Amino acid sequence: METFDRVLGKVSMALAWTACAIIPCLFTLIVIDVSIRSIGYNPPLFTSSVVEYALLYVAMFSAPYLVRIKGHVAIEALLSVMPHPLRRALAYIVYFLCGTSSLLFAYFSYQLMYYAWVDDILDIRGVDMPQWTQYLPMLIGFLFVGLEFLMYLIGRRHYYSYDLGEVKDGV
């Protein structure tokens, strides 16, 4: 399990760096597009479509890394004043529901991607984008988000900032 967790961490990190790499590509693309327009030529049609899809890739590729570093904002006020057993139980309910719902979304994203691929569905934007390219980052993102939460569920880490020892010792 340790090896799996380590590999999962590396994949999440690689996805996050991919999301990082997308951002410079985005502003470069936009600057080139506006510059071409400013000097009187027709800018490429694909810019807005590519930027729009790239925003989705940024969101989905950074999501698993954010789960690992506890970067998805949560309100801990009530949890922090709860009795330890209740807090522990609630934390595991959170991990379970977040993990399973993410895996469910990953499954449906796969289903949508498969049908979009087979039926060759196009998303009509500035340029027609193959619809499966919209579902691909959702499949990857939700899948690894789900797996990251499962790591919390099996007790490898704890998501919340209050005293971790209290919870882990009690497991």
Partner 1 sequence: MVFEWYWAGAILLGCVMAGMVLGFPVAFTFLITNIIGTCIFVVRGYSSFGEFIDGALRQIPQVVDNSPQLITSFTLSPIPMFILMGSLFFHTGIAIRVFDALDKLLGRIPGRLCFLTVVGGSLFSTLTGSTMANTAMLGSLLVPEMQRRGYNKRMSMGPILGTGGLAMIIPPSSLGVLLASIAQVDVGSLLVAGILPGFVLAGLYAGMIALQLVINPAGAPSYEVEPTTLKEKIRQVVVNIMPMGLVVFMVIGFIVLGWATPSESASFGVVGVIILAIAFRKLTWEAIKTSLIGTIRVVGMVFFILMNSTVFSQLLSLSGASRGLVQWATGFEIAPILILTIMFVVLILLGMFMDQVSMMLITVPIFYPIAVQLGYDPIWFSLIVLMSLEMSATTPPFGLLLFIMMGMVKGTTLGQVASAAAPFLLCDLILVIILVLAPELGLWLPSLMAK
Least Å from the CB of residue 1 to partner 1 = 23
Contact indicator for 113, 132 with CB cutoff of 8 Å: yes
Residues that bind partner 1 (CB under 8 A): 16, 19-20, 23-24, 26-28, 30-31, 33-34, 38, 48, 51-53, 55-56, 58-60, 62-63, 65-66, 69, 71-79, 90-91, 94, 97-98, 101-102, 104-105, 108-109, 111-112, 134, 138, 159-160
Q: Which is nearer to partner 1, 1 or 124 (CB)?
A: 124
Q: Which is nearer to partner 1, 8 or 68 (CB)?
A: 68
Give the residue carrying structure tokens 């934390």. 91
φ, ψ for residue 158, nearest 5 deg: -130, 135
Q: Residue 95, exposed/middle/buried by CB under 10 A (0-12, 13-18, 19+)?
A: buried
Least Å from the CB of residue 169 to partner 1 = 19
The conformation of residue 44, written as its DSSP 8-state character, comes to P
